[in-house]
Structure 1
Amino acid sequence: MHIHMINKNQFESDLEAAGFSRQADDIIGKMKEYVTEYAASSERFLIEIQTVMNEYKAVVCAMFSTMEIAGANKDEKHVEFEACTVLCE
């Protein structure tokens, strides 16, 4: 299955602004795994990863949505990044 992230530049920019650009690949990997295994044709879902920043535990939450695109192949999914939030403990 091919998964196309519509606004990957915005995703990377938002993570960089929050100081978590190194976690982008981990989040994208989990997003692709979720979409491949579980996602319906149109739904919103949250991906969370735990990390450490300046000796504090942090949870990076990224909200995505799957979209139906007219004319897309059956083995294609389109995903849009919506927002990210960082929670520190």
Structure 2
Amino acid sequence: MDASQSFSRIDEKLEMLIDQVGRLTEGLVEIRLTAERAIAAAERQSAVAEQQAAAIEQQAAVAERQVAAAERQAETVDRLARIVETLVEQRTVA
């Protein structure tokens, strides 16, 4: 094997290596882009989950206020019923 053939083989191997490095680089870029897209999707999902959690907390607060209002209304109805009973008793006695 002479020097020319040796250089030719080295050139071929170098071209193969350059091609493989190029494909590896393309693969790494593709992996990076996929990871970036996955991160962006996860961030969007996280934001949606946070919004849903805030909405649930607001709904829970509204429900608590409604329960408190219903309890107050029940107490008021009980008082009014007692007043009506008292008035009816007074009228039947009189």
TM-score range, shorter chain: under 0.3
The answer to which structure has the higher strand fraction is 1
The answer to which structure has the higher helix fraction is 2
* Length-normalised TM-score, structure 1: 0.21
Relative contact order, CA 8 A, sep 6+: which one is greater? Answer: 1
